[in-house]
Amino acid sequence: MNDNKNSDRLKGLTLLSANERRYPQKPEDARLETFENLYPENDYIITFDCPEYTSLCPVTGQPDFGHIIIRYIADKRCIESKSLKLYLFSFRNTPTFHEESVNRILKDIVEACNPRKAEVVGLFRPRGGIAINVKATFGGKIDE
């Protein structure tokens, strides 16, 4: 690939090359960046495994800890991983129920890259003796 085409493809990625230290305080402040999928004719599954997710209980304000797994089949755009890391970090001080955060993440992924299919799974650590697992999908089940 020539350098011109490659730089055109990557010009929207502002966070990857930056030494970004300004963490967004809430999901609304975060930006999911994308890049061109060079193989849109193929159905392939992209998986992000994020075992250090945190948010706040909207009732008690106590921290909630979880493991977020994002899987999607890209169409024309792919999610850039550093922007995803910063986006997920933005939930750290956000009061939200587990069900809300998983569905919010799915909605924002779909808005950012318009995948063929996507799913977000949240595996949340027990609190009060109960663990909560949530799965939200877009476009149907992703088979492996």
Quickly tell me which residue has 């706040």 as its tokens: 56
- How far is CA 6 from each of CA 1, 15, 18, 39, 119, rounded to the nearest angstrom? 7, 17, 18, 15, 29
Asked whether residue 133 is domain-assigned, the answer is: yes
Asked whether residue 144 is domain-assigned, the answer is: no
Structural domain for 15, as ranges: 3-138
pLDDT tens, position by position, 43-77: 999 999 999 999 999 999 999 999 999 999 999 99
Asked whether residue 9 is domain-assigned, the answer is: yes
Asked whether residue 116 is domain-assigned, the answer is: yes
Give the N- to C-terminal CA distance of the chain in Å, as an integer. Answer: 31
* Local confidence band at 127 (pLDDT 50, 70, 90 cut-offs): confident
- The CATH number for 64's domain is 3.30.1130.10
Asked whether residue 58 is domain-assigned, the answer is: yes
Question: In terms of Cα–Cα distance, which of 111, 112, 130, 138 is closest to 121?
Answer: 138
| Total tally of structural domains belonging to the chain | 1
Catalytic residues: 57, 64
Asked whether residue 143 is domain-assigned, the answer is: no
> The pTM is what?
0.85
